[in-house]
């Protein structure tokens, strides 16, 4: 059992939690994730490590309520426990040899970006950051990320703050109008956003790393649920990733695979809501 | 006493009923039936059956105790050499091991050693397993990685010798393949739980959610004061065929399918949160125990039709005869000498599988006749789920993060057969992680040998 030490609402349906998990904290690196199970009949879901504190033995996660498991998780309060919490999983992100990077986060994608930007800052890399969200209320972690980046650009779908439009519009402006050059683009967010960004950076010839989020179960390479087509190869995102070359990923297939259990997920959510309160305590 | 030639049959759930439920198929002997069957054993002076058992269970001795109605003593007798009799009595390939060597096998049917083993173990479990003698601690720590049969056996033996044993398991549940692979209807999970409870009573500590290689490394374990390590991490990596269409929705590895169903209890969805897609017509590719289990699970998840697609003939099928028989009784269709060449889909979902007919040619490296495609025999099977049960290999995670640990080109850890010693001092390994996918009892045997070798190693280090 893993104790929830802190919980806060960051935006509508988006929460940040600090969880006591000393073994995970001892080894966690930017780019890695954990897999948790809320209660004994729960499913295993992956969430990115948004922050870690080795001394205090804590891991921070940021998640959005989208279905049954994330709703059950959001219903837990400080002082309560998460049944299982395993990690760190996946390969740490690599930043060797980089000088200037553009990091793009869409929605909760800002959370995994945060420790990466901080690590790059520590390594002396100049990082520009674009954060995108539906509207002002949905922007997260801007203040946390700001101290570690050279420039921060904001884009909202409704224009309530920052640029009125998508992160890809800002990317276009930076590269095409301002003539900015980058050694690498890092894009983390919904598949469609990563696909669009990767399509553009391919034209600009900027190497691009995306963080894939396929359906996972064990997170150790043993089920194959998380397979992703990268170039001619089939990779397991949980052990070979989650970071991959955005110019090689087959996003259309990834989108189809991610949607496989839509009906069942809907049913699970429906039974939860019908049942009213969560049945786990 | 008259020699009875007929083996005492074991009651089973009716195939028509059981094909739609996850309750245990074989129901076990009653005390009377067990005694009747035990009396068939002629108590050989040189019991070949014992030689056939990889851990040398004292078979005539325990069977004699059953004839005397001393069922709990019989269980204790088995446990002198086999820590998990309730498991082995159910899943050992007895027909190739102990029972294959039984002298009565020639005259008719061998003594049903496995069923008797199961009976004694179940009887004892029902009565309540007596508390183990708490061994005197010798103040040395040993780490066991993986909680499958290899790890559990090593842990039990080391604990009995007085070591402080901690088992690290990457999953949230203990038992390895016994809980994530072999289905409830063949091996009830409550049984495995009880066996593990017993180890806890012996003083073994268990830590779940620790992926050695990620959460900590073998070097960390030594730094943390463990003086020896046993690796029993199994062979968990699935294989795919590398044919077109394998990334379509509805194509699973048997590992994924079975883990969803068994470990995550997707058969209870939506009461359990892990989903599984209902399929109407399922093809399972492969001919081993894993394929049989996947096919029988698919049937129990209400598929209308389930096919086993296997490229050789029934004689070459590696699955246990009993499980093939059970699968047939339940209505699984066997498409033998058939090999998939392509999976077909619409809108990203499986709709069919193109196969080709095979015929048997010359024997290959495995000594089995090699299947060769019959030209022009391609045909399309309409299916909406394909489960690949093609075998598994060890996970490279530990090998990649442990200095000086030598592995085979195919991923198996190199370990001495007699001791489990690896290329790294103090590190031992056994079970599927060393041999590739094998059997429960072989994994247990390896755990046992390694425990003895670890003891010798640590005694020497005094
Ligand atoms: C490596 C990785 C890191 C992730 N990090 C974060 C994060 O930091 N914050 C965050 O909010 N989300 C993250 N996700 C996504 C998160 O795992 C899903 O939102 C979550 O599983 C949804 O569960 P649910 O039951 O609430 O929703 P459901 O209604 O069951 O599913 C909603 C959608 O989530 C996806 N999903 C469902 N089950 C799984 C599963 N077992 N594994 C992966 N995806 C699934 C599917 O696309 C599905 O359509 C990450 C995913 C991956 C693979
Ligand atoms: C579906 C199926 C049916 C089978 N049917 C039979 C049968 O009828 N009869 C029979 O005799 N055999 C059968 N087998 C084979 C048998 O189950 C295995 O040979 C046996 O379980 C191997 O035992 P093991 O202890 O070596 O490994 P496993 O049982 O695989 O256990 C390994 C454990 O280690 C854990 N682990 C892996 N990596 C790590 C890590 N890095 N850190 C921590 N923990 C880790 C795993 O999660 C797992 O719990 C079957 C196998 C399958 C898959
Ligand atoms: S452990 Fe297996 S092989 Fe040995 S006697 Fe028991 S059933 Fe037979
Ligand atoms: S070989 Fe058969 S008859 Fe002889 S002791 Fe063993 S079980 Fe009994
Ligand atoms: S999640 Fe199972 S292999 Fe990656
Ligand atoms: Mg879900």
pLDDT tens digits along B84-123 = 999 999 999 998 899 999 999 876 689 999 999 999 999 9
**What is the count of structural domains for chain A?**
2
Domains B11-127 and B141-236+394-459 share a fold: no
Asked which of A89, A123, A156 is the last residue of a domain, the reply is A89
The CATH number fitting domain B11-127, selected from 1.10.10.60, 1.10.1060.10, 3.90.1150.200, 1.10.10.10: 1.10.1060.10
Q: How confident is the model at residue A281, as a pLDDT?
A: 44
Strands, E assignment, chain A: 2-11, 14-20, 33-37, 45-48, 51-53, 58-64, 81-82, 84-89, 100-106, 126-133, 151-156, 163-164, 184-188, 208-211, 227-230, 233-236, 243-245
The per-residue pLDDT for range B441-452, each reduced to its tens digit, is: 999 999 999 999
The per-residue pLDDT for range A186-224, each reduced to its tens digit, is: 999 999 999 999 999 999 999 999 999 999 999 999 999
Q: Are residues A83 and A138 in the same domain?
A: no
CA distances in angstroms from A213 to A209, B256, B316, listed in the order given: 13, 17, 41
What average pLDDT does this structure show over A14-24?
Answer: 96
What average pLDDT does this structure show over A68-86?
Answer: 96
B107: enclosing H helix or E strand: helix B104-107
**% of chain A exceeding 70 in pLDDT:** 98
β-bridge partners, A18: A6, A60
Nearest residue, CB atoms, B275 vs list A86, A234, A265: A265
Is residue B371 in contact with ligand 2, taking CB distance under 6 Å?
Answer: no
Q: How confident is the model at residue B109, as a pLDDT?
A: 87
C-beta neighbour count of B344 within 10 angstroms: 16
C-beta neighbour count of B190 within 10 angstroms: 9
Q: What is the pTM of this model?
A: 0.94
The per-residue pLDDT for range B383-432, each reduced to its tens digit, is: 999 999 998 889 888 988 998 999 999 999 999 999 999 999 999 999 99
What average pLDDT does this structure show over A108-137?
Answer: 94
What average pLDDT does this structure show over B170-198?
Answer: 94
pLDDT of B328 higher than 50 = yes
* Residues 6+ away with beta carbon under 8 Å from B386: B250, B251, B252, B282, B283, B284, B285, B340, B343, B350, B353
Asked, for residue A243, whether it belongs to a domain, the answer is yes
Q: How confident is the model at residue B130, as a pLDDT?
A: 80
Place of tokens 């001495």: B416
Nearest residue, CB atoms, B348 vs list A68, A87, A256: A256
Q: How confident is the model at residue B134, as a pLDDT?
A: 79
**Domain spans in chain B, listed from the N-terminal domain onward:** 11-127, 141-236+394-459, 238-391
Question: Which CATH fold would you assign to the domain B141-236+394-459?
Answer: FAD/NAD(P)-binding domain (3.50.50)
Structural domain of A233? 100-259
How many A from CA of B83 to the centre of ligand 4? 21
Q: Are residues A104 and A136 in the same domain?
A: yes
pLDDT of B306 higher than 90 = yes
Q: How confident is the model at residue B108, as a pLDDT?
A: 62
Q: Are residues A169 and A42 in the same domain?
A: no
pLDDT of A277 higher than 60 = no
Asked, for residue A267, whether it belongs to a domain, the answer is no
Q: How confident is the model at residue A276, as a pLDDT?
A: 54
Place of tokens 């070591």: B163
Asked, for residue A73, whether it belongs to a domain, the answer is yes
* Six token digits for residue B317: 């099928």
Q: Concatenate the DSSP letters of all residues of A238-249 into one string.
A: HHH-SEEETTTB
Q: Which of A216, A228, A230, A234 to mutate to test the pocket of ligand 5 (most atoms within 8 A of CB)?
A: A216
Q: Which CATH superfamily is domain B238-391 in?
A: FAD/NAD(P)-binding domain (3.50.50.60)
The CATH number of residue A150's host domain is 3.40.50.80
Q: What is the mean pLDDT of chain B?
A: 93
Q: What is the dihedral of CA B257, B258, B262, B268, to 10 degrees?
A: 30
User: Chain A residues with CB inside 8 Å of B172's CB?
Assistant: 37, 44, 83-84, 86
The CATH number of residue A76's host domain is 2.40.30.10
Asked, for residue A268, whether it belongs to a domain, the answer is no
Q: How confident is the model at residue B107, as a pLDDT?
A: 66
Strands, E assignment, B111-150: 141-145
Q: How confident is the model at residue B132, as a pLDDT?
A: 78
What average pLDDT does this structure show over B148-160?
Answer: 96
Q: Which residue of B has its CA nearest to A72?
A: B273
> Per-residue confidence at A274, pLDDT binned at 50, 70, 90?
confident
The answer to whether A198 contacts chain B (CB < 8 Å) is no
């Amino acid at each position: 059992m893993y104790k929830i030490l802190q919980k806060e609402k960051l935006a509508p349906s988006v929460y940040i939690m600090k969880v006591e998990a000393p073994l995970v904290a001892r080894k966690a690196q930017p780019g890695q994730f954990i897999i948790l199970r809320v209660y004994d009949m729960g499913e295993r879901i992956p969430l990115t490590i948004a922050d870690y504190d080795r001394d205090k033995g804590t891991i921070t996660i940021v998640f959005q309520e989208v279905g049954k498991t994330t709703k059950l998780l959001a219903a837990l309060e400080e002082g309560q426990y998460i049944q299982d919490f395993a990690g760190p999983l996946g390969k740490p992100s690599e930043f060797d040899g980089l000088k200037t990077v553009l990091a793009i986060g869409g929605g909760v994608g800002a959370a995994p970006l945060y420790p990466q930007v901080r690590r790059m800052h520590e390594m002396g890399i100049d990082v520009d950051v674009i954060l995108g969200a539906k509207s002002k209320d949905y922007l997260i972690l801007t203040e946390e990320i700001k101290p570690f980046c050279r420039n921060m650009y904001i884009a909202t779908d409704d224009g309530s703050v920052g640029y009125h439009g998508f992160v890809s519009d800002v990317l276009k402006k930076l590269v095409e109008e301002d003539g900015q050059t980058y050694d690498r683009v890092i894009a983390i967010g919904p598949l469609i956003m990563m696909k669009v960004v990767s399509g553009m950076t391919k034209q600009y010839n900027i190497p691009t790393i995306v963080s894939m989020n396929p359906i996972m179960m064990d997170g150790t390479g043993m089920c194959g649920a998380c397979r992703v087509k990268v170039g001619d190869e089939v990779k397991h995102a949980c052990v070979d990733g989650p970071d991959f070359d955005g110019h090689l990923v087959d996003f259309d297939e990834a989108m189809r695979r991610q949607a496989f259990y839509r009906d069942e997920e809907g049913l699970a959510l429906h039974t939860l809501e019908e049942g009213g309160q969560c049945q786990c305590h | 006493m008259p020699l009875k030639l007929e083996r005492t049959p074991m009651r089973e759930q009716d195939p028509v009923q059981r094909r739609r439920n996850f309750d245990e198929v074989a129901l076990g002997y009653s005390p009377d039936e067990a005694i009747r069957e035990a009396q068939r054993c002629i108590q050989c002076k040189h019991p070949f059956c014992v030689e056939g058992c990889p851990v040398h269970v004292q078979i005539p001795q325990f069977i004699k105790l059953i004839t005397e109605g001393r069922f709990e003593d019989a269980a204790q007798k088995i446990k002198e050499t086999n820590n998990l009799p309730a498991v082995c009595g159910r899943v050992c390939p007895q027909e190739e091991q102990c029972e294959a060597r039984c002298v009565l096998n020639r005259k008719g049917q061998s003594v049903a050693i496995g069923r008797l083993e199961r009976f004694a173990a179940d009887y004892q479990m029902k009565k309540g397993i007596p508390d183990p003698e708490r061994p005197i601690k010798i103040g040395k720590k040993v780490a066991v990685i993986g909680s499958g049969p290899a790890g559990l056996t090593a842990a039990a033996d080391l604990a009995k010798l007085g070591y402080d044993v901690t088992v690290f398991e990457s999953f949230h549940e203990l038992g390895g393949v016994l809980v994530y692979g072999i289905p409830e209807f063949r091996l009830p999970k409550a049984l495995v739980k009880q066996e593990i409870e017993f180890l806890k009573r012996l003083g073994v500590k268990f830590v779940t959610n620790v992926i050695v290689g990620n959460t900590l490394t073998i070097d960390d374990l030594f730094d943390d004061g463990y003086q020896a390590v046993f690796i029993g991490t199994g062979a968990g990596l699935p294989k795919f065929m590398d044919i077109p269409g394998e990334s379509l929705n509805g194509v699973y590895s048997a590992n994924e399918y079975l883990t969803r169903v068994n470990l995550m209890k997707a058969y209870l969805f939506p009461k359990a949160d892990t989903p599984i897609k209902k399929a109407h017509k399922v093809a399972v590719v492969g001919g081993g125990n894993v394929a049989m289990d996947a096919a029988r699970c698919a049937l129990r998840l209400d598929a209308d039709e389930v096919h086993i697609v296997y490229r050789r003939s029934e004689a070459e099928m590696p699955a246990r005869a009993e499980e093939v028989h059970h699968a047939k009784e339940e209505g699984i269709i066997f498409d033998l000498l058939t090999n998939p060449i392509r999976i077909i889909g619409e809108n990203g979902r499986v709709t069919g599988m193109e196969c080709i007919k095979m015929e048997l040619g010359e024997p290959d490296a495995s000594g089995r006749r090699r299947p060769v495609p019959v030209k022009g025999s391609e045909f399309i099977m309409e299916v909406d789920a394909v489960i690949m049960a093609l075998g598994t290999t060890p996970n490279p995670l530990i090998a990649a993060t442990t200095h000086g640990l030598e592995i085979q080109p195919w991923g198996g850890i190199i370990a001495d057969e007699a001791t489990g010693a690896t290329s790294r001092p103090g590190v031992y390994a056994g079970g599927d992680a060393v041999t590739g996918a094998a059997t429960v009892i072989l994994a247990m045997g390896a755990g046992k040998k390694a425990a003895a070798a670890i003891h010798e190693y640590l005694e020497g280090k005094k």
